[in-house]
Amino acid sequence: MRPDARAWFESRTTSATGPAEIDAAALLRAKRRGGHRVSVVLPARDEEATVGRLVTDIVELWVRRVPLVDELVVVDSDSTDRTAELARAAGADVVTTAEVLPAHGSRPGKGEALWKSLAATTGDLVVFHDADLLGDVSHYVPALLGPLLTDPAVGYVKGCYTRPLSADGVTSPAGGGRVTELTARPLLNAWWPELAGVVQPLAGEYAGRREFLEQVPFSSGYGVEVGLLLDLLELIGLPGLAQVDLGVRRHTSQTQDALSRMAGQVLSSILARAGHGRAVSGLLTQFRRDGDVFVPYSSPVAVDERPPMLSISEYRARQAASG
């Protein structure tokens, strides 16, 4: 690891692996002292099995018991199940991607929900939290807020964790995050070695200051996390980034075909920022066997990005009206 990456890793990595490590009272004092408003965003598509419990925990612990969170918004991306109904019943505000900035249309993908969430929330600190997590993750929100509330030099915080892998009924204590290890990490270490200390560059749990998030583009697909990491590195520099060890993260493992498509989108987002000088193919071709022959099928993985939110006139007008 390069010296600058090691120095960052040692100085900008903190730990909050469970509720016992959270000093909620100190965080609340820091929030009030800084005059902050906190928004928590859960992007969701067909997550009825998990979203209600996650929202319930955040509302009970961090809205009511310790009022760290001022608004909790679930951004629903065309769910066909009861995601929106259960999230609303648990206490979240629910919006759909189609109803936010309707003049700009609506695109598929997680990044679209995250981008539009900036126009649907008002906090100067924004926490993004995946909606498919299993187990007790009630400490994630305050842990991610910690560096932002206690260090004004930090502008963006990534979560990191151990990721168990469940496959064929067998669970290994580690081994999850295959797209990270086989695609994102090798490329980032090659082109951005200063980021070698980032444990989970594709983590779906992170937090940032609105003043920076609104200045960068958002990839519409699974390339959104690595795109944000690279663009914010350029905007605020390595010292402005931090990470928090959250302990263990569990969710439903995806199939190999789905992971391949995810890797294709991550790769496209990285290549778009690497200055490689060559157009990126917009399709990923995979194969499935049909009897005695292989049948090819293709999926789009090209980068589809929304511009920085500050470039949207409706957003600027709302910000100006709110002061």
Q: Which amino acid is at 122?
A: T
SS3 18: coil
Say if CB 58 and CB 128 are below 8 A apart.
no
- In this predicted structure, what is the pLDDT of residue 297? 74
For residue 81, give the 3-state DSSP assignment: coil
What length is written for the chain? 323
Task: Find the distance separating the first CA and the last CA of the chain, reported in whole Å.
Answer: 44
Angle at 205 between CA 188 and CA 108, to 5 degrees: 85
Could you give the count of Cα atoms lying within 13 Å of 252 in the half-sphere of its Cβ? Answer: 9
Query: Residue 84: which H helix or E strand, with range?
Result: helix 83-90
Residue 298's pLDDT is: 79
Give the mean pLDDT per block of 10 residues along the chain (323 residues). Answer: 90 90 95 98 96 97 97 96 97 96 92 96 97 92 97 96 64 62 87 91 96 95 92 97 90 68 86 70 74 78 87 94 82
Q: For position 213, what pLDDT does the model report?
A: 98
**How many Å apart are CA 102 and CA 261, to the nearest integer?**
28
Contact status, residue 59 vs residue 74, Cβ threshold 8 Å: no
Please enumerate in sequence order all residues whose Cβ is within 8 A of that of 114, keeping only pairs 6 or more positions apart, or say none. Answer: 41, 43, 75, 128, 218, 224
The pLDDT assigned to 300 comes to 76
Nearest Cα residue to 160 out of 14, 267, 259, 62 = 14
- Give this prediction's pTM: 0.90
pLDDT of residue 241: 98
What are the start-end ranges of the E strands in 194-314?
206-209, 218-219, 241-248, 250-251, 283-290, 293-300, 305-306
Q: CB 304: neighbour CB atoms within 10 A?
A: 20
